[in-house]
Amino acid sequence: KTISVVGLGYIGLPTAAIIASRGIDVIGVDISQHAVDTINQGKVHIVEPDLDIVVRSAVQTGKLRATTTPEAADAFIIAVPTPFGENHQPDLSYIEAAAKAIAPVLEKGNLVILESTSPVGATEKLTAWLASARPDLTFPLNGSEDTDISVAYCPERVLPGYVLQELVSNDRVVGGLTEKCAQKAVSLYKVFVKGDCLTTNAKTAEMAKLVENSFRDVNIAFANELSIICDTLKINVWELITLANRHPRVNILRPGPGVGGHCIAVDPWFIVSSDPENARLIKTAREVNDGKPHYVVDKVIKAANRFKAPIVACLGLAFKADIDDLRESPAVEIVEMLAEKNVGQLLVVEPNVDELPASLKGKANKVELQDALSHADIVLLLVDHKEFKQIATERMLGFVTIDTRGIWE
């Protein structure tokens, strides 16, 4: 058996490597020649703990090979991005391009699985694109059961930083366009998934993924809103949450500088765009979380007004603790806004990256933690990296601190 994984990014590459590590031939497909070349040298173009080791061994044993042109396989797993475009509408163009790319090599008996986070109905759209490119094959559209090609939707739920463990241990929701499609997909996942594979229809599986991330977004919004209300009421939100969470049925998440990453800040919009009138809470949660970086900036400006030539140490740029991923990071957004508003001299500390992102070059200086602390008037904690948690609370007494993650509270 051969499995083709289309899209070798944060999800596709680890999935391809894990399947290959189970002794199955895997053909990885990506439009980026750079990604393909890097992988074929046994190296990785993305950062994820231990991924380099698994990819190197999969390539060395000849089980994993990458290419820019799709080849015939028994099953295709599509893991391409689904960004949102104008007005928060989902952009399915990568899925469409992937469908058009694999359609010519599809053969009777093949299974196609979509893993990309998608709005409800995307699996049917994918199938329609495949069907229009291959009128000689039958597809599971309009309830047809016995078809040449099987199609299923199976979202991933892995947490960045723990991808290799979670790919294996998490339960999977497997949504088939038909029952037979779901069963075929389960047999594929059983090769490497130790968790349960729960079958349903494709639409429910698509919605399950969106709902999981929206649930988290709404709950983080609750915490973020509380943190602002508590500022008004002069209550320590961290103490408040610790106390409230001692109730047996209360579990408030942690406020922060905003919500980043490519999933939680994006997926709820897919629900909103599918039913804007009724998705009220979900939309408001997005707005609350997107508003938090602005609130933090205003707080820094107020603090900075107390100094003639304020020096602000900004601790952390990543979108969450102990990772190097700066994309969609509220911390980056906050430092950008501070630079734009000329709030003062900005010293940035980010132990997990070598260079400032392009948007901050020339506007802020990247320095070591100790340098930042010896010069700063204001310390703005943006990410709860372990290096920052190690700073003793007493050390912070001499500064005006704005601790968005509550590590020194």
H helix or E strand, kind and range, residue 303: helix 280-304
List, in order, residues 6 or more apart from 203 with CB less than 8 Å away: 120, 121, 123, 175
Instruction: List interacting residues with ligand SAJ (CB under 6 A).
Output: 117, 156-160, 212-213, 216, 220, 253-254, 256, 259-261, 263-264, 319-320
Tell me whether residue 253 or residue 337 sits nearer to ligand SAJ (CB atom): 253
Q: Catalytic residue among 263, 314, 320, 366, which? A: 263
CA dihedral sign, ordered 44, 48, 53, 58: negative
Does residue 209 carry a catalytic annotation?
yes
CA nearest 109: which of 69, 71, 134, 138? 138
Count of helix runs (H) and strand runs (E) in the chain: 14, 13
Name the one residue in this structure whose structure tokens are 């602000």. Answer: 312
The two tokens of residue 369 are 């933690």
Tell me whether residue 70 or residue 160 sits nearer to ligand SAJ (CB atom): 160
Give the span between the Cα atoms of 269 and 72, in whole angstroms. 35
Q: The sheet that has 378-381: what strands, in order across it?
A: 365-366, 345-349, 311-315, 378-381, 400-403
Give the span between the Cα atoms of 20 and 299, in whole angstroms. 50
Tell me whether residue 25 or residue 322 sits nearer to ligand SAJ (CB atom): 322
Q: 361: which DSSP letter?
A: B
What does the DSSP assignment read for 311-329?
Answer: EEEEE--SSSTT----TT-
- Cβ 267 to ligand SAJ shortest distance, Å: 6
Within 128-285, strands assigned E span 150-153, 172-176, 197-201
- Cβ 211 to ligand SAJ shortest distance, Å: 9
- Cβ 396 to ligand SAJ shortest distance, Å: 21
Tell me whether residue 56 or residue 157 sits nearer to ligand SAJ (CB atom): 157
Tell me whether residue 330 or residue 344 sits nearer to ligand SAJ (CB atom): 330
The two tokens of residue 56 are 């190197």
- Cβ 138 to ligand SAJ shortest distance, Å: 33
Give the span between the Cα atoms of 361 and 338, in whole angstroms. 13
Q: Catalytic residue among 184, 209, 292, 366, which? A: 209
Tell me whether residue 199 or residue 214 sits nearer to ligand SAJ (CB atom): 214
Give the span between the Cα atoms of 59 and 69, in whole angstroms. 18
- Cβ 380 to ligand SAJ shortest distance, Å: 15
Tell me whether residue 160 or residue 344 sits nearer to ligand SAJ (CB atom): 160
Does residue 181 carry a catalytic annotation?
no
- Cβ 189 to ligand SAJ shortest distance, Å: 15
Asked if 48 and 18 count as a contact pair (C-beta separation under 8 A), the reply is no
Q: 84: which DSSP letter?
A: B
Tell me whether residue 319 or residue 408 sits nearer to ligand SAJ (CB atom): 319
Asked if 156 and 182 count as a contact pair (C-beta separation under 8 A), the reply is no
Asked if 346 and 337 count as a contact pair (C-beta separation under 8 A), the reply is no
Give the span between the Cα atoms of 265 and 60, in whole angstroms. 37
- Cβ 219 to ligand SAJ shortest distance, Å: 7
Give backbone dihedrals phi and psi of 151, rounded to 5 degrees, phi first: -135, 135
- Cβ 261 to ligand SAJ shortest distance, Å: 3
The two tokens of residue 91 are 């952009």
Catalytic residues: 209, 263
